[in-house]
Amino acid sequence: MKVGKTESKQILSNGVYIFSSGNNDFVAPLLANSTSPNYDREYVRMIMGNLTSVLKGIYKEGGRKFVMLNLGSLGCLPSVRALNLQKGVTNGSCMEKATNFAKMFNSALPKMLRQIEKQLPGFKYTIFKFFKVVADSINNPTKHGVKISETACCGTGPFRGIPSCGGNRQVKEYELCKNVKDYLFFDSSHPSEQAYQKYSELLWNGTPDVVVPYNLKSFFELST
């Protein structure tokens, strides 16, 4: 079925566009040996500039409603815990530098969105506080229906934090847990299906402490 320009514009206008920044895009800079003392701030500024361009581009084509997921607690990923251990942090705790990097991005995100909102009539957004829900899952795993929040179900090395799951990477050997439902993280960087189910429910009908100013259900019902 083909639709005309008017119908296409209406479809684009009624659509909801969801953005999630990948962990890899932010963990990789932590491994770079940058000589700039403000490399993290410069990197976040670059990401914000790119996001602004993309959002304005979609707006130009008719998009009006945008859902943004902020960054999760990067420093507590099994892969980053393992990296912290390699750096000599003997208890394998969360990497403060990585967590602060995520917080820097999460602080800049609403400021950027408010600025765009002032510039573009009809631009609407909501933010899912992914950092908050992941951090809460890590600190209170049983509340989210899991038992283990530091170690991944699949991988190798400390915390199963080396991404070897499936044996198709540089490291061929890997361990697989007996019951994935016990684990918050499936592999070194990604939550399990059960965790994502919980997060999806919070995004859909959560309260303003985790998704603001609208949950996804309300956002879909919002007129443009």
Residue 13 has pLDDT above 80, yes or no: yes
| Count of CB atoms situated within 10 Å of the CB of 171 | 14
- The pLDDT tens digits for 100-111 are 999 999 999 999
How many other C-beta atoms are found inside a 10 Å radius of the C-beta of residue 72? 27
pLDDT band with cut points at 50, 70 and 90 for residue 126 = very high
- The more confident residue out of 190 and 3 is 190
Mean pLDDT for the stretch of residues 192-214: 96
Overall CATH class of domain 5-221: alpha beta
- φ, ψ of residue 190 to 5 degrees: the values are -125, 130
- Using a pLDDT cut of 70, give the percent of the chain over it: 96
**Could you tell me if 76 and 84 are in contact, meaning their C-beta atoms sit under 8 angstroms apart?**
no
Average pLDDT for residues 5-10, to the nearest whole number?
78
For residue 16, pLDDT over 80 is answered with: yes
Q: Where are the beta strands (DSSP E) in 70-170?
A: 124-128, 154-155
pLDDT at 1 over 70: no
pLDDT the model gives residue 20: 92
Q: Tell me which residue of 200, 189, 194 sits closest to 23, measured CA to CA.
A: 189
